[in-house]
């Protein structure tokens, strides 16, 4: 009986070792050919374009992330060692230090060389008080879905104020919405290994891919209802952590009637921003309204020029000034809910 058990154990061990060797060979082979997981198809014949794969896997300044889909590569391009644009912060604040975080998309991150309104705002605030600091936490292509998670990452740095600017990328129509595009727990387990990448691709092809592509149904990356929920969650977290929250509408030019173009849906996200701010008694700066007739301040339909970034900084500085410690110390000021 003992001999049979030993023989059986040897077979099991041999099978396990063989399996491990096969996995190792597969892993080495996949790494050798440079294989990486590419989540879902990024285009379909109807013309919807999905830039998430490009940001997550092909753009040099970003790396794939299971929760955020992509995140900035630290110490690369405009990003510092903490993954933000701006000065490196200590986790412990100095007495009197006031930290402002700008969380948003490409219009917040700004151009690779120079222009970004958080940087210009930082200069204005520094002139007001040398202990005021603005950190740019914007990321190309981000929606409010990613914004909530990005904001949570700033909490360790004890922000005093957060400026939230989303409402453009949400309206991009895709085959898989942001909430389904990533599978955090599964990807965290598999992404370190190339064979894990292969398993995720198989899952997409035979589960998610078939489910969505059979019907060719396209949806916004984030619905207006989800957008409201994300803003409300940020506001809730701000109140829990005694952070001043200010919402910004997203600037863009022109209108659209194309059913799947983001700009067709942008007015609904702008309206939702104002509504959420009003419902929560949170200041809203209507950046869209300020730039609506200033075509010379936008480089394209959705991104500010250098002049536009400077003007946006001046607008935001003017609106948040009553919320700064010095102004509050002088006298209570009821902030304007929207800059028209």
CA proximity to 249, closest of 217, 275, 226:
275
Q: What is the pLDDT of residue 141?
A: 94
For residues 125 and 101, the answer to whether their CB atoms sit within 8 Å is: no
Listed in order, the ranges of the chain carrying CATH 3.40.50.1110 are 84-175+218-330
- Torsion of Cα atoms, 312 then 315 then 318 then 322, to 10°: -90
pTM, rounded to two decimals: 0.81
Q: What is the pLDDT of residue 44?
A: 37
Q: What is the pLDDT of residue 113?
A: 81
Give buried/exposed letters for 184-216 (b at 16+ CB in 10 A, else e).
Answer: eeebeebbeebbbbbebbebbeeebbeebeeee
What would the pLDDT profile of 171-229 be if each residue is shown by its tens digit?
998 888 999 876 556 666 776 788 877 777 776 666 655 555 555 678 899 999 999 99
**CATH superfamily ID and name for 84-175+218-330:** SGNH hydrolase (3.40.50.1110)
Q: What is the pLDDT of residue 210?
A: 55
Q: What is the pLDDT of residue 20?
A: 86
CA proximity to 128, closest of 329, 317, 264:
317
What residues of the chain score a pLDDT lower than 50? 40-48, 333-340
């Amino acid at each position: 009986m003992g001999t049979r058990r030993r023989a059986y154990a040897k077979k099991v061990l041999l099978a396990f070792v063989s399996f491990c060797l096969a996995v190792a060979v597969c892993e080495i082979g996949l790494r050798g050919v440079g294989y990486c997981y590419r989540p879902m198809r990024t285009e379909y014949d109807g013309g919807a374009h999905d830039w998430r794969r490009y940001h997550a896997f092909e753009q040099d300044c970003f790396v794939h992330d299971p929760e955020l889909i992509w995140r900035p590569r630290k110490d690369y391009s405009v990003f510092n060692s903490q993954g933000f644009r701006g000065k490196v912060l200590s986790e412990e604040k100095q007495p009197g230090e006031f930290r402002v975080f700008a969380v948003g998309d490409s219009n917040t991150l700004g151009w690779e060389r120079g222009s970004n309104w958080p940087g210009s705002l930082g200069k204005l605030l520094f002139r007001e008080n040398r202990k005021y600091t603005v950190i740019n936490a914007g990321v190309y292509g981000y929606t409010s879905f990613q914004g909530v998670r990005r904001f949570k990452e700033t909490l360790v740095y004890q922000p005093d104020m957060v400026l939230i600017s989303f409402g453009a990328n949400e309206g991009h129509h895709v085959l898989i919405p942001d909430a389904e595009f990533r599978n955090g727990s599964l990807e965290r387990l598999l992404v370190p290994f190339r064979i894990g990448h292969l398993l995720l691709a198989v899952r997409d092809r035979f589960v998610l891919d078939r489910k969505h592509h059979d019907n060719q149904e396209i949806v916004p990356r984030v619905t207006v209802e989800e957008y409201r929920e994300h803003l409300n969650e940020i506001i809730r977290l701000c109140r829990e952590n005694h952070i001043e929250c200010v919402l910004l509408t997203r600037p863009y030019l022109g209108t659209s009637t194309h059913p799947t173009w983001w700009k067709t849906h942008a007015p609904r996200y702008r309206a939702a921003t104002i509504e959420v701010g009003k419902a929560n008694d949170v200041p809203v700066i209507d950046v869209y309204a300020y730039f609506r007739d200033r075509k010379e301040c936008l480089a394209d339909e959705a991104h500010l020029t250098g002049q536009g970034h400077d003007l946006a900084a001046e607008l935001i500085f003017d609106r948040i000034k009553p919320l700064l410690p010095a102004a509050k110390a002088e006298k209570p000021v009821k902030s304007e809910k929207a800059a028209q």
